[in-house]
Structure 1
Amino acid sequence: MASEDTTQGQNFVECSICREPVLFFCRQCKVNLCGSCVAVHVRARARNGHTILDFASKDDYDPCLCESHPEKECSFYCITCDVAICLVCVPIKHRSHDISELADKIKELLKEIAKENNRLQSSKHELEINLDCTVELLSSLSEFYKERKDEVSAKGEELHREINQTVEKLHRELDDMQTEHETLLEKQKKEFEEKIEKINETNRNVTKLQKSHDVKKMQTFIPGIQKHETPSEFPQYSFPKFHVGKIDLQTYFGYVEKLQQEAKVAAVISVIDTGFPASEEYQSRLYDMAVTDDNRVWMGGNDRKLKLFDMQGNIHKSVSISWKGMYICVHNKQVVYSDKPDKAVKMISVTGDVITLFKTGDWYPRGVTSTSANDILVCLSKDDQFKVVRYSSNGIVLQEIQYDLQRQPLYTDATYVTENINDDIIVTDLTKKAVIAVDRQGIHKYTYSGNNGNFFPCSITNDKSGNVIITDYRGEKIHFLDRDGKFLKCIVTKESLKGPRAVCVVCHGEMMVGEKTTGLAKRIKYDVQ
């Protein structure tokens, strides 16, 4: 008999034969069976036989039925035909084929399914992070747009005040003009009246003389009448006109930028505490980093050491140097750094010795990078001059980049440099707050100055796709450009990056970003475009 729990869980589903509580299920016949009726049902002949299942798990059973023999369950897999088969099919259609156990094929498929499912589940965390950010943005959306509206209203009120002040000023000017105009016209009126009166008086005298025969009076009168001039010109004053000024209201008043994607939230995979001390003046810790061929990362910070870490944060090597590790790269599998006070570019040998590769004359070396041609590009400074020089490995100057085609300086503060896969030489300029790219010949190609007016580029690198990756120290984000300098996107992390400075690509779709102020190196996953 069925237990109380079973019958309650099954809500008293009845046996299809005797109406007792159900315990079993026949898959072929689709009938419910109690314990007593199972034997009776199995004895009944059926074309496809009987498969008796526990009723509670009947929906969990999902057999693989043979395409050629639907009544048979598959127990083998034909690798040649890429199809599941039953025992009957083996000697008929698949005699000489490569056959394996169905369980082995299921195991293989489930392994692939599990792999893809794990991939999706890992992306779920990133989606949840973005969901949290989206929810947070939604909650603050009304307040944000209210602030923008208030800004627009404040600007409108300001312009209203300016317009009212201008209207009042013009009214005062017109009042003054009216007073002046009235004075002039009153004076002119009086002059005309006086002249007309004189002409009338002369006319009266002429009338008297016409009745007289006194020649002497006539002779005396003529010089007097001749002195009266006949006016040929009369003064006229035009009314002032109001000249309406043409104003580009959008330029003068302002406008609202279209909605655009500002940044994407990327996942931080792991964090390494580099342990560099903070500088007294700027509290700086981590400056630069460079990845090795075996996927470890050299890091330089605010002490006279270069440290080699693996991706798990284990330190493998620490080498003492003569200056802080502000500018480093990997060249010929060895870490290379700029020794600014010594005006030299130096390398750490396999044995850990510091070797001077070459001197930079009276110029101070800054950012340094290795090129595809096995040369070394170095940013150099002297007084207020900056340039990028290409050196051979033994210090021979191969190229100097300092001016554009108009002989104007390209750089005002060349700091970090990278060479892209298309041979572009790209430099961050801290004073210009820009990224400046030239082609292989040193001809200016593009300048990128950010997309929101708060751009402060520090370090720079590129990935295998040619994407240019720039750390934005003040904006606390990472900018991506394509190989032609077109803006692609910005990325941020859920926990804001604290003064991102150093950056290097560690593998496809992953980079390491160093926070200058915390000394933390964060491994970040990003979508490759």
Structure 2
Amino acid sequence: MSTTSDEQAAGQHYLVCGIQDCQKNGQFYCNDCHQPMCEQCKDEHGKSSNNKNHDVVPYRQRKHRLPIEKCKLHPTKNVDIFCKECKTPLCLKCFLTEEHKGHEFDDLEEIYAEKYALWQGQFSKIQKYFLPTSESLKTDIEEDVTEIKNIMENIRTSMKAEAESLKNLIDEVTSEKMEHTQTMEKSLLRLLKSQETTYDDYITYLGEISDTFQEYLPITNQKLLFFENLKIETIPETSKPVPPVFTAGQFNRDDVAKLLGKVNVPNTEPEKRKIQPMEAVSTPMKFTEKQLEQSREKADMKQTLSLSSSVTKVREYSVPDVDNACHVSVDKPGKLWVSDSFKNLVQTDQGCLLQKIQGSGGVSGYHSTTQTGDLIYADRNENVVSKITQDKQITELMKTGDWTPLSVHSSRINGDILVGMTTDEEGKVTRYNKAGKETQNIQRDNQGQELYDYPHYITENINGDICTSDMNKFAVVVVNELGEHRFSYTGLRSDFQPYGICTDVLGHILVCDRGKESIHLLDQDGAFLSFILSKEQCMGYPRGICVDDENNLYVGKFKTSIVAVYRYLQ
């Protein structure tokens, strides 16, 4: 949801203490007075005898105020009573009429608060269970569509291969039979040639006899008188060859079909898709004992932590070989990676240099530490994202093609890698798993509008929301884990320029504002809570920020090599 400056200012007024001119953080809420209070004003409020029975709760547990509705019978009065007998909402004047005398009544605000909580719970189920589960089932179906298409294509390929194999066998057998006919033909022709030679020899023989006889015919030649009678050899006998006869094969279409394979759907009961039960949604993964212990510690911490009324500077590090601290990634308290705009990326421990590598430079959040202490970083010159392990081994995780990677975040929820990218025309956020395989692309909202232009800092909140600072849109853009747009925060004034961004254990969103050189604190839903640090308090130009496991806020200051550490939770 986009918010205007006026709405945000109103949000700011609503969320700070509402007692007189007090401007401290409104951490509590009086459900009777319907106003936020700081801790000090809450204590003072409870001391008054008029307020001793007021219901004061933490702000997030507040009852939502009954919407104002005017009575139709008494237009100057608000409807705020519910007649249980008549099942009708009433105003105070209606309540006092004879018509409702002796009836039982309820506070309409109480009913509204209960209904609101009920519907909020149902809506939460829709967002956290029904919708994601349905989307997951839809994704399963899409995967099944792809699988079925692949299976059928493989079957068609196999059928073509089998048919081709049968064709090859037919060609092979046909070729053998053709060769056999060639052999038979040669044998028959040799026989006929032999017979032809026999008759040639016999004709020659007859010619010789004829010539001799011709010699004896003249009167002057009396040799004929002295020869015995002429005997002529009989004509040689030959046999007419028997030609081969072709007998056609006896087959039909069914015979061919039998030779080739067939496609059948197995007579098997279809397997029902597994629908994850609602109670399993909150713990979808198996955790180790250590992870469960850490989860319990964080849950206990959430119940005891709250915003401090003041911000305290804890320590300060001067980072060697860094000209301006543009981005900070914390491995563990005191041990951090810091980058500047001049391609310097260094690791320090309590300010002592551990190692230095060449980064891609630029004022962006292009690196992030993992839960195991490794560093994920992007190279915007080569369009690759790499990992450097604790033993200083560098591995390329993925290439981003034509997209320039600007920002990187390693998820503390599941280890996924979130990358903010851009081209000359558009921006997007891509999710990869730990192995570097792309699993999600987030680029447009449900109206088809582009969400990003230049997402140069990125982080993830405790509820799975992906929060990015987009320099060209002058906004913090927040989507849920499904990539659906939740809201865009555009600051309190028109000169809002978001840079470094991080979240804390309470789900707060903290973002550096270059326009006012300050740090804004937002709640999980994008409402402005307060300024954590102003330019004067920072004593510099805040650009890169992150929070460590001990809830310390690290602030990298532009134009300096300083990373300052602050305490803002108590």
Q: What TM-score range do you get, normalising by the shorter chain?
A: 0.3 to 0.5
Higher relative contact order (CA 8 A, sep 6+): 2
TM-score (normalizing by structure 1): 0.46
